[in-house]
Structure 1
Amino acid sequence: MANRERSERILTDWNRVFDALADPSRRYVLEYLHDRSDPVPVWDLAIALAVRTTDRAPNQIDIQVVEQAEAGIVHVHIPKLEAANLVESNGGELSLTDHAQTLPLFTPAYRGIVPPAASEEFDDWEP
């Protein structure tokens, strides 16, 4: 009976991972976090996601678009990513979990799934 329970738990864990990876915005969040060594404030992530989805420079994005991105991150994306044990939230900052680092999400073969995160240097940004 213990083997069956363990198998069901593993399957449930993988289902959560696949559910989390099903959305391109969540894959982008993982890629963005992976490319940074320090935890990322949710607001910075919201700006990056707004830049990605609107294809505009940060100074050209309406604040409401960033606020909508932030609401989606906080209320939809973080809970799914946390349920899959892929990110951890601490005081409004996000980082990848050790579990996320062990998955083959960030190998060269998988890097093309999500375009690289936008550069931190937004002043030189061009569409």
Structure 2
Amino acid sequence: MGVLASSARSSKDLSKGEIFDVLRNQRRRFVLQYLKRRDEPVELGELATQVAAWEYDTTCEDVSAEQRKRVYTTLQQTHLPRLSEVNIVHYDADEGVIEATDRANDLAIYLEIVPGHELPWRELYLSMGAVACALCVAIWAEVPYSDVLDGLGWAFLISIAFTLTAAVHVYHERNMRLADLDSPPEIDLDDA
């Protein structure tokens, strides 16, 4: 399928497999992060410098010419054409200008990751559910101290715990928008 036919497809036409295939490369994910932050067309040189800085864990000013050239070349020859082929970015090779498309915004959910020091929310909810079930069994088996509250009191306490946890989760997710981060989510901010 040609580039024009691919770029005419809507974002809903990409399968999850295609999306993950495109986004499996860290350099491509860095490109999307930078484009979302800038929210305007960027020049290839500027993009290559920032991606190299993230990859080599340095500042843009300290990126060597060799590091920048290495990133620039692979972006120009491989990554940007691939992102453009599936209409995630618009890449004008003649002008050396890249811009995120509307499809790039649709991919934000696929770029979310959980930092190594953070408990994934699904595991927290699973743990809370397990504790609630164990508490129900303890009340049913009349384990000592399980009668501190009556059944309704325990149900209210569990409901409050789940509601507060869900509220914190919603707040956390709203504050973790990709464009709001200072660096890509793959870079541990504690080490920076």
TM over 0.5: yes
CA contact (8 A) 1:32 1:116 kept: no
Q: How does 1:69-88 map to 2 (within 5 A)?
A: 69-88=71-90
After TM superposition, give the deviation of residue 19 of structure 1 in Å: 1.2
CA contact (8 A) 1:42 1:92 kept: yes
Long gaps (5+) in structure 1: 1-8, 119-126
CA contact (8 A) 1:85 1:99 kept: yes
Q: Give the whole-Å Cα distance in 2 for the aligned partners of 1:63 and 1:18.
A: 31
1:56 to 55, 58, 61: 58
Total equivalences in the alignment: 109
Q: Give the whole-Å Cα distance in 2 for the aligned partners of 1:83 and 1:35.
A: 22
CA contact (8 A) 2:91 2:97 kept: yes
**C-alpha RMSD of matched pairs (Å):** 2.9
Q: Percent identity?
A: 26
After TM superposition, give the deviation of residue 63 of structure 1 in Å: 0.4
CA contact (8 A) 2:39 2:100 kept: no
After TM superposition, give the deviation of residue 111 of structure 1 in Å: 4.7
Please tell me whether Structure 1 or Structure 2 has the larger radius of gyration of its CA atoms.
Answer: 2
2:45 to 34, 43, 46: 43
Give the AA of the match of 1:13. Answer: L
Q: Give the whole-Å Cα distance in 1 for the aligned partners of 2:78 and 2:31.
A: 12
- Which piece of structure 1 moves more, 99-108 or 59-68? 99-108
Give the AA of the match of 2:96. Answer: G
CA contact (8 A) 2:52 2:63 kept: yes
**TM-score normalised per structure 2:** 0.48
Q: Give the whole-Å Cα distance in 2 for the aligned partners of 1:38 and 1:11.
A: 24
Give the AA of the match of 1:99. Answer: R
Q: Secondary structure at the match of 1:35?
A: helix
Long gaps (5+) in structure 2: 1-8, 113-172, 185-191
After TM superposition, give the deviation of residue 11 of structure 1 in Å: 9.3
After TM superposition, give the deviation of residue 83 of structure 1 in Å: 2.0
Q: Secondary structure at the match of 1:59?
A: helix
CA contact (8 A) 2:81 2:91 kept: no
2:106 paired residue number: 102
